[in-house]
Amino acid sequence: MNRVVHQIVVAGLCLALMPSAHALFHHKKKKKDFNLTANPLANVNSEQPDKILFDKAMHALKKGRYDVARLDLQTLLNTYPETEYAMRAKLAIGDTWYKEGGSAALSQAQSEYQDFITFFPNTPEAAEAQMKIGDIYYQQMLKPDRDPANALQAQQQYRTMLQDFPDSPLIPRAKQRLRDVQEVLAQRQFEIGEFYASREDWAGAIARLQTVADTYPLFSHSDQALITLGDAYATEAQIFSHAKLPAKAKAELVRVYDDRAAAAWDRVVTRYPMAPHVDDAKDRLIAMGRPIPEPTPAELAESEAEEGSRMTLKLRDRALLLVKQSPSMVRAARVGEPTVVDPPQTYAPQINKENVALFEAALHGQPLPGVGPNGTDKTAAAIDNGTAPPTPSQASAPLQFETIPDQGGSAGSTVTVVVPNSNGQSSSSSAGSSSSAGSGSSAGSGSSTPPASGAVADNAVVKPVGPVVSKPLPPIDKPAPAPDQINDVSGNAGRAQVYTGTTASGKKNKKKKVPYNSKDESSSRHKKKKGIDKLNPF
C-alpha cells in the first residue's frame, strides 16, 4: 500500500514540474508572430497605430468589405499624413474601388489611380496603377459593332504604359492586352470596309481597309483586308476602262489602279505567306498577268509564328458571343510588336480628291500625281509593240480651238466647232451662216448637194449658231369652238335625256321632264319607298 502511494506522489510531482501544453503552444505562437521584417524601416515588430490601422484595412479588403477598408485607409491618411504607409494606402484605396466593380466604382478607381501616378510617378507601384487604368477600360470594351470608346481608351492607356514604364515587369502583359485591343479595333474597321465594298462605295472601302493594313498589321484577317482592298482598286480600273474618255487618259487611269491592286495582293504574298487566303491573292495576280513575288525566309518565319500563336475559335466561344457583350480576342496574335504610334489615317474624302486629281491630270495630258513618268513595265512593253497610247512623257498638245472666218465674203456669224477625226483626235473648224442679197436660198438647207465653202460638215459636234433663213411658219390654228353645254342625266336605257339647246330658228328647246320611278330612285319631293322596297338596291 505504501508503495502505491509513493508512486502516485512521484507522478504528481513530475506533472507539477513539467510546463503545461498550453504554455508551450502559446510560447511557440508568440515566437512565430515575432517577425523582425514586419516593419521594413525599423526591423522591429512594433505596435504602431498606423500599422495596426493599415493591417486592419488590408484584412477588410481581403474579406471583401470594401467600404470598411476605404474608411480605415482614409482615416490612416487623414490622421497620419507622414506615415510610411501613405503611398500603399493611396494605392489600396484604388484597389477597393477596382475590386468592387461596376461602372461607377471603376470610374472612381481610375481617378484614384491617376492621382497616385501624379503624386508618386517614379515608384514601381506607378506602373501597376497605369496598368490597372488600362484594365479598367479593357473590362468595359464592347463588341466591334458597338461603341469603340472604351477600346480606344484602353489602347491609349496601354500605349502610355509601354512608353512611360519600359522597364516594368508588367510590360509583356501590357503588350498582350494591347494586341487584344487592336484586334477588336481592326475588326471594327474591317467590317465597315466590307460593308462599303458590298454597297460599291469604293472610296469608303479603300479608306477603311487601308487603315487596317497600315495601323493593325497583327490583325487576324489582314490577308482578307488586303485582298478586298485590291479588289476595290481593280473594280475602279474596270470602271475607267468602260468610261467614255480619250484612249490615252483611259489607259493611264487603268494602269494606275491596276498597279495599286497588284501592290495590295503582292503584300499579302510577302507579308502574310502563311495566311489562309494567300492563294486567293496569287490567283488574282496570275489573272492580271503579274509575277508572283517570293517572300524572304524572315517573312515566312514571322508569318508562321503569328499564325501559330492564334487560338482556334471553338464552339463554346461562338456560343458565348451570343450572350455576352464583351468581344472575343481568341484570334488575337500572341507574338509580334503591337503598333504604338498610329500612322496617318486614310479618309474617304481624301480618296475622292485623289481620284479627281488623277482623272483631271489624265484628261488634260499632264503627269499623273504620284506616278512615275515612265509608267510600269507592262505599259512600256505595250508601247514597244505599238499597241498602247503614249505615256505622259510623250503626251501630245492639249486641244485648242481655232477661229475660221466666213469664206463666202458675206456678213454673217462665225462659229467655232470641234470635229473628231478618224484616229480619235479632235480638230477644230468653223462655219458661218448668212443669206445672200436676193438669193432666196438658205444656208444649211436639206439639199442633197455637198455643203459649199463655209458650210458645216455633217459630223460636226457643235452646230452653227446664227440667223438662219427658213420657210415661214404656217398660220396659227385657232381652236375649234366649244360645243354647247350638254347636261346628261344617267338613268335607265328607256328614259329620255334632258337636253337644252337652240334650234335652227333660234328658239330655245324646253326641258323635257323625266318621269319619276319610285322603285329606282328616292327623292324628298316624291313619296319615299316603303316596306321591302327600301332594302332592294335595284
Question: What is the b/e burial string over 284-321, where b = at least 16 CB atoms within 10 angstroms of the residue's CB?
Answer: bbeeeebeebebeeebeebbeebbeebeeeeeeeeeee
Alpha carbon separation from 37 to 33, 53, 82, 228, 358 (Å, rounded):
11, 18, 21, 63, 75
Written as nine digits, the cell of 458 is 455633217
In 3D space, the residue among 80, 91, 92 whose CA is nearest the CA of residue 118 turns out to be 91
Asked if residue 252 belongs to a domain, the reply is yes
Predicted pLDDT of residue 322: 81
Q: What type of residue is 472?
A: P
Picking from 391, 425, 448, the residue at the C-terminal end of a domain is: 391
Question: Is residue 26 over pLDDT 50?
Answer: no
484/415 Cα distance (integer angstroms):
55
- CATH number, domain of 114, equals 1.25.40.10
Question: Is residue 249 over pLDDT 60?
Answer: yes
Whether 269 and 233 map to the same domain: the answer is yes
Asked if residue 325 belongs to a domain, the reply is no
312/307 Cα distance (integer angstroms):
10
Whether 58 and 178 map to the same domain: the answer is yes
Mean pLDDT of 259-276: 94
Asked if residue 212 belongs to a domain, the reply is yes
Question: Is residue 508 over pLDDT 60?
Answer: no
98/20 Cα distance (integer angstroms):
49
In 3D space, the residue among 146, 149, 113, 148 whose CA is nearest the CA of residue 128 turns out to be 113
Whether 224 and 282 map to the same domain: the answer is yes
Q: What is the pLDDT of residues 118-153, one digit of tens each?
A: 999 989 999 999 999 999 999 999 999 999 999 999
CA gyration radius for the chain? 47
Picking from 363, 391, 419, the residue at the C-terminal end of a domain is: 391
Whether 68 and 126 map to the same domain: the answer is yes
Asked if residue 470 belongs to a domain, the reply is no
Return the biggest CA–CA distance within the chain. Answer: 180
Q: What is the pLDDT of residues 180-208, one digit of tens each?
A: 999 999 999 999 999 999 999 999 999 99
299/352 Cα distance (integer angstroms):
34
pTM value is 0.62
Asked if residue 204 belongs to a domain, the reply is yes
Residues 431, 434, 440, 444, Cα dihedral to 10°: 30
322/401 Cα distance (integer angstroms):
68
Alpha carbon separation from 530 to 76, 297, 535 (Å, rounded):
104, 106, 9
Mean pLDDT of 217-223: 95
Q: What is the pLDDT of residues 362-394, one digit of tens each?
A: 888 888 776 655 554 332 233 233 343 333 333
Mean pLDDT of 238-252: 88
Whether 256 and 221 map to the same domain: the answer is yes
Mean pLDDT of 162-178: 95
Mean pLDDT of 5-26: 59
Question: Alpha helices of 364-432 — where are they, by DSSP H?
Answer: 377-384
Asked if residue 451 belongs to a domain, the reply is no
Whether 172 and 219 map to the same domain: the answer is no
Domain span at residue 85 reads: 49-182
Whether 224 and 357 map to the same domain: the answer is yes
Predicted pLDDT of residue 456: 45
Whether 163 and 234 map to the same domain: the answer is no
Asked if residue 5 belongs to a domain, the reply is no
Whether 237 and 377 map to the same domain: the answer is yes
Bridge partners for 417 per DSSP? 429
Share of residues in the chain with pLDDT > 70 (%) = 60
Whether 381 and 239 map to the same domain: the answer is yes
Whether 133 and 244 map to the same domain: the answer is no
Asked if residue 486 belongs to a domain, the reply is no
Total number of domains in the chain: 2
Whether 262 and 146 map to the same domain: the answer is no
